[in-house]
Amino acid sequence: MSSGRDRGCPRPCAPRASSATRGQVGGAAFALTAGAGGPLVVPAAIDWGRVQDLAVTWLPIVFMGLIAVVLVMTLRYMPRTKPQTLKPESAGSVRWDDVAGVDEAKEELREVVEFLRDPRRFRKLGARVPKGILLHGPPGTGKTLLAKAVANEARAAFFAQSASSFVEMFAGLGAARIRRLFRAARKAAPAIVFIDELDAVGATRGRDISGEKDQTLNQLLVELDGFSEHEDVVVIAASNLIEKLDPALLRPGRFDRRIFVAPPDLRGRKEILRVHARDKPLAADVDLDLVARQTSGLTGADLANICNEAAISAARDGRTVITRRDFDRAIERVIAGAESRRALTEHEKRVVAYHEAGHALCSELLPRVEKVHRISIVPRGRALGYTLNLPEEDRYLKTREELIDYMVVLLGGRAAEQEVFGEVTTGAADDLRKVHEISRAMIAEYGMGSELRAKQVPTDDYSLSDATRRLVDEEQLELAALAERRARALVSEHRDRLDALAQALLERETLERREIERLVGGGRRQHHGRASEHDTPRSPAAGAPALQHATATTEPSG
């Protein structure tokens, strides 16, 4: 008989679960007993509605808490963007003597220096210093250097920050940084606030989808308007794209003065080279005036780089002075790129030699093109060879015939390939790009077409009719075709000189001016008719194309 124990069970065992509860896993707990003979406890089902209510209540709170933690950690470890601060007479200060080649801009800024030094003298006469000064021009012309020199000469604190660092991923951060920058400047007055790359936040409003840049610009306008007449704080900004700035920035009372900082002329380049070479030991054969003539069109930053590269070249060779050869290497490196070790096949060398000889031959035979200074088939950067032309003087205006001659020179390399090998290669890609830019500018900007004369046709104007666009394209193709015909005629007529130049290049790889004159023989330079009185001059602000930079045979970018 069973007495409440199962046989073989040494201690009281729980009764077996009834068939009604056997197999229930989810929705009910298993039966438990409190002791021998205890009653069977049947658990109640889990209240899933209650669980759902708790989840709906607490999960959003937990989620928002996690987001808050992430934001706090992001702000804590985000790089802090602080303005560069320079005190007068510090190690990083710049003097007027350190700034060369920008005499007009220096004269404009001297008044700001005088005001910050002695503001009472100006206020007695009812004059007020301009709140803002905008320096605009190509990169590398010395805009930042000018601002530092003004701060040092005026004995004012200098706060510099790039406009691109104002805007971050969080809304309102740019405006907050603007406020913090100007607050620090007011406390340190007299002070100069320098904002580089102003176009990063100063572009015309309404184009930013997020609105963050517009909000930052609005705060900048508020700060500019908030200056009182007795606050000795001047804002100097720099931009390479003044045409993209919002008109509200340029109105009087904000940026009162706009100063164009142009690339230096011959005299300016001489001064810049002397500034950067004054602490360098130069050999007796170094002629900085010659270097200045060889670097027409380059900026102050380029010239500083040339002086530095020349010093590196001398140190690399273990010499204690910098020679003329070091400067020649430095100019080649800055203009054409570093020398490459790539190996060309014999056929490719011949193609490159004839290509560069074609450029040089056309340059020597055309009357309105600068003389060739050097030809080389030594690969540099992406260029497999280059022809370097140097102007005898700085010029800012170009006639229609001069621009056509320039395109003839650019297409001379391609014409030489066609003349000698019966086919063209990809080496003229950069030449074709420049021909396209010049011919397009001649028609659309300078009114130098046969039908489109005395009229600008902005090709990005969507209101232009299809007929006008088609006419621009046709006139552009006509100019390019004219230049190509002239180039092919020149290399065909003077094939013997072309062969002589190419053969000398294959033997020596680099030819200098004296050797080029001997090979070409001082032949008659070809005239294709005089420039008519209707030739439209090229605008100096647009930057006339010049051959002082290398005309190169390039490898395809793809």
**How many beta carbons lie within 10 A of that of residue 272, not counting itself?**
28
Going by C-alpha positions, the residue among 418, 410, 457, 416 that lies closest to residue 436 is: 410
Cα separation, 327 vs 277, whole angstroms: 11
157 pairs with which residues across the strands? Answer: 191
Cα separation, 377 vs 343, whole angstroms: 12
Of 153, 197, 332, 356, the catalytic one is: 356
Query: What spatial distance separates the first Cα and last Cα of the chain, rounded to whole Å?
Result: 97
Region label for 29, one of left (φ > 0), alpha (ψ between -120 and 50) or beta (otherwise): beta
Pairing mode, strands 84-86 and 132-136: unpaired
Locate tokens 């290497």: which residue? 329
Asked about 339 being catalytic, the answer comes back as no
What's the gap between Cα 364 and its chain centre?
34
Residue 245 near residue 239, CB atoms below 8 Å: yes
Tokens describing residue 449: 């077409």
* Helical (H) or strand (E) element with 386: strand 383-390
Cα separation, 190 vs 59, whole angstroms: 55
Counts of helices then strands in the chain (DSSP H, E): 18, 10
Angle, helix 495-508 to helix 400-421, in steps of 10 degrees: 70
Instruction: Please state whether the peptide bond connecting residue 190 to the residue before it is cis, i.e. omega within 30 degrees of 0.
Output: yes
**How many beta carbons lie within 10 A of that of residue 280, not counting itself?**
14
Tokens describing residue 545: 């194309």
* Catalytic residue IDs: 356
